[in-house]
């Protein structure tokens, strides 16, 4: 579509005014190309994180130690698939397609959250993911319910409700372990030791090194800086860890009366960038498995399409 | 777990427990995102049924995690490995059609299973519909999907006779259920341009064997995976 400059500037003025008034941009509204592409990148990355994130937890479905825990874990992994569906649909309102986004994931042109490149080594990791990883995700995502783009904001309302349930089940799972046998307590502590720092990295690089932050805040896609959200998460977790009877693996963690926040030790950003570059413990495994599921399923999707074409109706 | 009574609740509970476990193995592997949701949904329904049924027979976790292979009395069909998506759908079609017919019958009776059957029959109708819809798509989709669907149906056929072997102390019109199952299955397979498998519906020496605790080789490995964590921490609560 070609537009002459005066019209474009008028449209842009409407867009700016809508954002400034804290109203929602909807799919049919004019929006700057960069706003559209930023949203597609962010929503796709979020959707990919949901479906890649199924892997480390699905790793324990077949070994869950009680039928109650098995039911909870299956439901949680199912929710993640559902979140993937809403998010891909939300991205489609911006003029892309699920197939195109999956192809970008499979070919490494779009990313997913690096946290899922860490392995789930014991049952307690399921609890640590719920408490810390989902907890960090909620801290990041609650402000997205007020994101300037309507379909994304509305998807996030439902997702945050379910994430909150996920976070509580993780906490409750760890509490049962922490109060259980000595071996169970040790399993819980070990999981928290391994997941704490990667969880803090989920908020992204420090504000002065974050590539997209400033523009996203101006567009009200993002509402708080990485460091603000990280601090909020630490402040929430410290008393929860105490209630769990578990320790957080940071000797520098202490209450700072003056700031009204917990101080915490330096994050190993080298590890963060290495995992992001593909050198984490499970990067290759996660993407290989995702690609294989997609390739193995190709004949099923082709059959569904062929059947729908023969019988003259949309398959789904 | 030495003095185990094989009750109908235990037999039907084991069917649901084991098929739920197999479906749970699909998580993260499904051919399309909608099927991640659907297969997990069916697995969750079956796990819910299993928990109610096993609780009628004893402690659900003791029964699931502390029995040996020979003490499980599920039919062999449900323990069969997933194979490809068509194989899983064939297993589900055979089982859900059977379960819906049986639960329909039990729901109207006066046994202790009636309340569970009345609730579960609605879920089971959805499972059956899901399997039927995929049977139609795969059977009447592409040449490859047709071949795979027929192969799945053929491979699992010899496990279908056991579904209608009488279960001790469970009053059901087994022959009528079997006839109805065959009629309905034939209708679906014909619509899907597939063929009702020929050949025996029983293995040579294993007629009704699952209900008696005789299982197939893959079952032991499945149980080893399912039970190892629970058994590694005797007496622990989770």
Q: In angstroms, what CA-CA distances link A198 with A126, A193, A195?
A: 15, 10, 6
- Say how far apart CA A106 and CA A103 lie, in whole Å: 5
No. of H helices and E strands in chain A? 13, 2
- Within 123-152 of B, beta carbons closer than 8 Å to A belong to 136-138, 140-142, 144-145, 148
A149 bridge partner residues: A25
Number of neighbours of residue B206 by Cβ within 10 angstroms: 17
Q: Which residues contact B224 (CB under 8 A, 6 or more apart)?
A: none
Are B18 and B78 a contacting pair, CB within 8 Å?
Answer: yes
Pick the CATH number of A8-312 from 3.30.70.260, 1.10.167.10, 1.20.1260.10, 3.40.50.720: 1.20.1260.10
Q: Which residues contact A165 (CB under 8 A, 6 or more apart)?
A: none
Domains of chain A, by residue range, sit at: 8-312
Stated length of chain B? 238
User: Torsions phi, psi of A255, nearest 5?
Assistant: -75, 130
Q: Going residue by residue through chain A (316 aa), what tens digit of pLDDT does each one get?
A: 555 566 888 999 999 999 999 999 999 999 999 999 999 999 999 999 999 999 999 999 999 999 999 999 999 999 999 999 999 999 999 999 999 999 999 999 999 999 999 999 999 999 999 999 999 999 999 999 999 999 999 999 999 999 999 999 999 999 999 999 999 999 999 999 999 999 999 999 998 887 778 888 889 988 899 999 999 999 999 999 999 999 999 999 999 999 999 999 999 999 999 999 999 999 999 999 999 999 999 999 999 999 999 997 654 4
- Say how far apart CA A244 and CA A126 lie, in whole Å: 15
pTM: 0.95
Provide the number of structural domains found in chain B: 1
User: Nearest chain B Cα to A65, which residue?
Assistant: B230
Chain A residues lying within 8 Å of B35, measured CB to CB: 297, 300
Q: In the numeric block, which tokens belong to residue A29?
A: 């509204």
User: Torsions phi, psi of A149, nearest 5?
Assistant: -95, 115
Q: What is the CATH number of the domain that holds B104?
A: 1.20.1260.10
Are A76 and A50 a contacting pair, CB within 8 Å?
Answer: no
Report yes or no: A61 at the B interface, CB cutoff 8 Å: yes
Question: If you count residue pairs, one on A and one on B, with CB atoms under 8 Å apart, how many are there?
Answer: 144
A25 bridge partner residues: A149
Name the CA dihedral angle for B38, B42, B48, B53, rounded to a multiple of 10 degrees. 180
Asked if residue B116 is part of any domain, the answer here is yes
- Say how far apart CA B156 and CA B179 lie, in whole Å: 18
pLDDT, residue A28, reads: 95
H or E stretch at A289: helix A283-296
User: Range of B44's domain?
Assistant: 8-232
Chain A residues lying within 8 Å of B152, measured CB to CB: none
pLDDT, residue B6, reads: 80
Report yes or no: B47 at the A interface, CB cutoff 8 Å: yes
Residue A171 Cα to chain centre, angstroms: 18
What does R_g of chain B's alpha carbons equal in angstroms?
17
Residues B26, B28, B31, CA angle at the centre, nearest 5°? 75
Q: Which among A64, A85, A297 has CB closest to B31?
A: A297
Name the CA dihedral angle for B44, B48, B51, B53, rounded to a multiple of 10 degrees. -130
Q: Average pLDDT in the B76-105 region? A: 98
pLDDT at B38 over 50: yes
The ipTM estimated for the assembled molecules is 0.97
Asked if residue B2 is part of any domain, the answer here is no
Q: In the numeric block, which tokens belong to residue B156?
A: 């699992």
């Amino acid at each position: 579509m070609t537009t002459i400059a005066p019209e474009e500037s008028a449209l842009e003025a409407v867009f700016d005014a809508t954002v400034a008034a804290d109203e929602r941009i909807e799919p049919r509204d004019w929006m700057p190309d960069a706003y559209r592409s930023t949203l597609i990148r962010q929503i796709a990355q979020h959707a990919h994180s949901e479906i890649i994130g199924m892997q480390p937890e699905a790793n324990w479905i077949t070994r869950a130690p009680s039928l109650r825990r098995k039911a909870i874990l299956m439901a949680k992994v199912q929710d993640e698939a559902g979140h993937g569906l809403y998010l891909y649909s939300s991205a489609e309102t911006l003029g892309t397609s699920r197939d195109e986004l999956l192809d970008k994931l499979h070919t490494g042109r779009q990313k997913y959250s690096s946290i899922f490149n860490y392995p789930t080594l014991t049952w307690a990791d399921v609890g640590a993911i719920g408490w810390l990883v989902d907890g960090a995700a909620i801290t990041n995502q609650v402000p997205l319910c007020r994101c300037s783009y309507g379909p994304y904001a509305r998807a996030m309302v439902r997702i945050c409700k379910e994430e909150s349930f996920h976070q509580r089940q993780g906490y409750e799972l760890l509490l049962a372990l922490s109060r259980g046998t000595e071996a169970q307590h040790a399993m819980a502590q070990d999981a928290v030791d391994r997941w704490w720092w990667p969880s803090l990295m989920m908020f992204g690089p420090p504000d002065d090194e974050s590539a997209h932050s400033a523009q996203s805040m101006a567009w009200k896609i993002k509402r708080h800086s990485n460091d603000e959200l990280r601090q909020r998460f630490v402040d929430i977790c410290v008393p929860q860890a105490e209630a769990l009877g578990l320790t957080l693996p940071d000797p520098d963690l202490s209450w700072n009366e003056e700031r009204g926040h917990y101080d915490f030790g330096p994050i190993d950003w080298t590890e963060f960038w290495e995992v992001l570059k593909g050198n984490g413990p499970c990067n290759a495994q996660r993407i290989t498995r995702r690609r294989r599921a997609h390739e193995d399923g190709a004949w099923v999707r082709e059959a569904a399409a062929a059947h729908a074409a023969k019988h003259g109706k949309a398959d789904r | 777990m030495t003095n185990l009574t094989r009750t109908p609740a235990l037999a039907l509970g084991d069917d649901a427990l084991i098929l739920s476990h197999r479906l749970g193995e699909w998580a993260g592997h499904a051919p399309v995102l909608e099927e991640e949701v659907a297969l997990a949904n069916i697995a969750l329904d079956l796990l819910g049924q299993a928990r109610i049924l096993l609780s009628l027979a004893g402690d659900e976790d003791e029964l699931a995690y502390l029995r040996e292979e020979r003490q499980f009395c599920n039919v062999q069909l449900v323990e069969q490995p997933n194979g490809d998506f068509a194989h899983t759908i064939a297993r589900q079609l055979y089982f859900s059609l059977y379960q819906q017919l049986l639960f329909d019958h039990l729901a109207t009776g006066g046994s202790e299973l009636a309340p569970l059957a009345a609730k579960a029959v609605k879920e089971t109708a959805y499972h059956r519909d899901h399997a039927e819809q995929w049977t139609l798509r795969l059977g009447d989709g592409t040449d490859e999907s047709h071949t795979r669907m027929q192969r799945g149906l053929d491979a699992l056929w010899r496990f279908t006779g056991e579904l209608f072997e009488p279960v001790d102390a469970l009053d059901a019109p087994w022959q009528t259920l079997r006839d109805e199952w065959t009629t309905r299955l034939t209708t679906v397979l014909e619509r899907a341009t597939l063929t009702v498998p020929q050949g025996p519906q029983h293995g040579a020496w294993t007629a009704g064997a699952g209900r008696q605790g005789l299982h197939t080789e893959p079952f032991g490995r499945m149980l080893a995976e399912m039970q190892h964590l629970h058994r590694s921490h005797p007496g622990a609560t989770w």
